[in-house]
Amino acid sequence: MKKVIVVNGSPRRNGNTLRMADSVVAGIQTVLSEVEVKWYDLYEFRYSGCRSCFACKAKDGGSYGRCVIDDDLSAVLDQIADADCLIVASPVYLMDVSGQTRSFAERLCFSLGSYEKGYRLLAKKNMPVVTVYTMNALPEMASYRAFDNIEYFLGHIFSLPRRLCALNTYQFQDYTKYVVEIFSELEKAYWRDVHFKDDLQAAFDAGKDIAGQLHEG
């Protein structure tokens, strides 16, 4: 049975980010009848980013290639070590992934990237990776370069991520409750009704493609 890990870096339990990740999973499940999916909502955990202790680089002590920080993220990292597919989903805050997503990536990637000659990788195996981003920005304002950093390291360690983006998202359930003068709720609603369903379909199709890779593997 294949194991898929979903890391949700959004504080919203039923928001756009989760819906996109869920569509990827749905696509996988249409192809693979036997698949274990484990969801981790990062905002539910108490953890930190990398503390620069370098225990994961130490020659002795049994911690080489492994983050030794003992907190809520430890179990997630252990599950990823034996996974067959990783989905990392995050909203975009200040033109970058959420802070929780960034801290997660630090802990995962730094411990599995060595300082050996040739930068030998310490992950148990290569696996497909999907990155999902949701943002309020229009296409011409999207911060694609910011995603290159996290994807570079995920790609170096596992495989080049398949990137999925949902733009110009509908942010509020009721726009009348907030000061939102620079956006039009009608335009946001139109984009949601016309384009977001295409984003969800693209995520679903990506899941089917990933499942095909897992089946062949």
pLDDT, tens digit, 9 for 90 and up, residues 5-27? 999 999 998 899 999 999 999 99
Displacement of CA 18 from its chain's centroid (Å)? 10
Q: Which is more confident, 217 or 35?
A: 35
Instruction: Using the structure block, give the residue that is written with the tokens 């060595």.
Output: 114
Mean pLDDT value of segment 163-180 = 93
* pLDDT tens per residue across span 95-146: 999 999 999 999 999 999 999 988 888 898 899 999 999 999 888 888 788 8
Contact 207, 27 (CB under 8 A): yes
Mean pLDDT value of segment 33-45 = 96
Q: How far apart are CA 182 and CA 127, in angstroms?
A: 42
Q: How far apart are CA 14 and CA 10, in angstroms?
A: 9
pLDDT confidence of residue 121: 84
Domain layout of the chain by residue ranges: 2-216
Helix axes 197-216, 16-31, angle to 10 degrees: 40
Q: How far apart are CA 54 and CA 59, in angstroms?
A: 10
Give the CATH class of 2-216: alpha beta
Q: How far apart are CA 111 and CA 73, in angstroms?
A: 13
